[in-house]
A = this chain, B = another copy of it.
Amino acid sequence: MKLSEEAQAALDAARAQSATTRRPTVAALEERLYLPVPCLDHGFVRVVDYMGDDAAIVQAARVSYGRGTKKVSTDRGLIRYLMRHRHTTPFEMCELKLHVKLPIFVARQWIRHRTANVNEYSARYSVLDTEFYVPRPEDLAVQATHNRQGRGEVLDADEAAAVLALLRRDAEQAFDTYQALMDEHQLARELARIGLPLSAYTQWYWKIDLHNLLHFLSLRMDTHAQYEIRVYAEAIGDIVADWVPLAWEAFVDYRLGGLFLSAQGVAVVQRLLAGERVTREDSGLSAREWRELMARLRPDSAGEGSAG
């Protein structure tokens, strides 16, 4: 990722400004403010503004006149209680605003999360930078066989080189055409851009409350999410951990690191704890569910057809 001189200067100027405020501030996030975190080859995420902190969650939960906090240990306990019992509205009282540069195919997955505010760079109004995403060789993988929407083995070096050459050739040609359509044929920008690839980079301002952000992260940090959006989700996760450390800890314990047992899964665990032998066949679980459950609950003996 490389910023233009103009962009860098604007960013430096924004960082140089400061003022006094009565609002809650978070020192760790102030430190990060405006600085882009590189994502993929040309993308980034950077914090443009934030509202609230861990204490603001407590304050809203208590509908307080003041800051609403007591001891840190009490606040931590309340935040964990709220997260555990899915009392989501106090988490909505914190807000984060990001500036993101991302490939269009990532933007199309991202935008499915509707509970956010978005203002995207307009390719009807302005000309897009000549920047497109090219995966690293180690991120090129064959179609997964057991999972219709995932990746399997990594390509070998020759295959990878061939694939990257094709992707680069087409993208460069499409961007050349884009310029030619506008410069030589004066074609309207809104038409000239229709031949650009889905790997082209776009930019947007994206603003979301903490509850919906955590929901976004729980889906997009998941191993089922496409690698390219996961890179962004993980970068945002690091930001959130700095911003609201107590809420983040509760999120990791009660969402990210947890496990949902289905009704059948509960029954399997009950039988196992009662000392019964349980087989996949009499578990009521599908082969895949059985495999995934055992992998989590008996990490040392996963994949066996029975347990107990």
Contact = CB atoms under 8 A, between A and B. Distances in A.
A287 to B, nearest CB: 12
A174 B245 CA distance: 44
Contact of A117 (B93, B197, B200, B272): B93
Given A67-B14, A195-B171, A207-B95, A273 B298 contact: yes
Interface string A265-289: 1100110111000000000000001
Q: How many copies does the complex hold?
A: 4
A219 B86 CA distance: 9
Contacts of A15: 22
Contact of A269 (B20, B105, B297): B297
Contacts of A205: 59-60, 63, 93
Chain A interface SS verdict (over half): mixed
Interface in A33-48: 33-34, 48
A93 B97 contact: yes
A130 interface: no
Contacts of A150: 124, 188, 190
Contact of A259 (B14, B33, B252, B266): B266
Given A103-B194, A182-B143, A226-B190, A149 B166 contact: no
A17 B24 CA distance: 9
A93 B50 CA distance: 11
A261 B261 contact: yes
Given A49-B51, A86-B219, A170-B174, A226 B273 contact: no
B265 A187 contact: no
A150 B187 CA distance: 11
B93 A143 contact: no
Contacts of A265: 258-259
Contact of A197 (B63, B121, B122, B194): B194
Report, nearest first, the 7 A-B pairs whose CB atoms are least far apart: A10-B66, A257-B263, A92-B117, A7-B65, A114-B114, A142-B186, A124-B149
Interface of A: 3, 6-11, 13-15, 17-25, 30, 33-34, 48-52, 56, 59-61, 63-67, 84-86, 89-90, 92-93, 95, 97, 99, 103-105, 107-108, 111-112, 114-115, 117-122, 124-125, 133, 135, 140-144, 148-152, 155, 159, 162-163, 166-167, 170-171, 173-174, 177, 180-182, 185-191, 193-200, 203-205, 207, 209, 219, 224, 226, 252-254, 256-266, 269-270, 272-274, 289, 296-300, 307
23 contacts: A11-B65, A13-B67, A14-B66, A17-B22, A21-B23, A22-B34, A49-B56, A51-B95, A63-B203, A92-B207, A95-B207, A104-B198, A105-B193, A108-B111, A141-B188, A150-B190, A174-B197, A194-B198, A198-B198, A258-B260, A258-B261, A269-B297, A270-B298
